[in-house]
Amino acid sequence: MSDHPTLPVTFRPGRTRAVLHALGAVSFVVITIVALLLGGLSPGEKASFVFTGALFWGVLWLLGRPKVVADTEGVTVVNVARSRRLSWAEIVQVNLRPGDPWVFLDLTDGTSMAAMGIQPGMAKQSAIRDAKALRALTETAHTRSSSSSPAGD
């Protein structure tokens, strides 16, 4: 079996995402029901309960947002609050070391970037498989670009 998935491919922490969205929905429903059942609250106070539930769900939605999308041109890393587009040439190495909370990408500018879309938290084997696949895609892109460079570069 090949480590190369068909492009485009999206890597995301499916179990973590499902748990976060379910927890957000359940919390919102429970807080809303409590607000409606509590006697003696003004409409504004009830609305503030519902708003708090929606805000909590929104925070959990943001935590479930991370993904890594690989296509023929490069990789888009979507983390909690930021997204960044990288060409294959910008990625030097894909790392997922024991104890890492997610994959880290070593970049040509000497920095390292978190790719939170591949995280071993609830699905360690899946994260390892995804990290290997992204590493293989990166190596293939580097091989392809170096073989297409004219001699003498």
- pTM equals 0.85
Of 135, 76, 73, 71, nearest to 103 by C-alpha is 135
Say how far apart CA 53 and CA 29 lie, in whole Å: 8
pLDDT band at residue 143 under the 50/70/90 scheme: confident
Which pLDDT belongs to residue 1? 43
Range of lowest pLDDT (110-119, 133-142, 143-152): 143-152
Cβ-contact 124, 18 below 8 angstroms: no
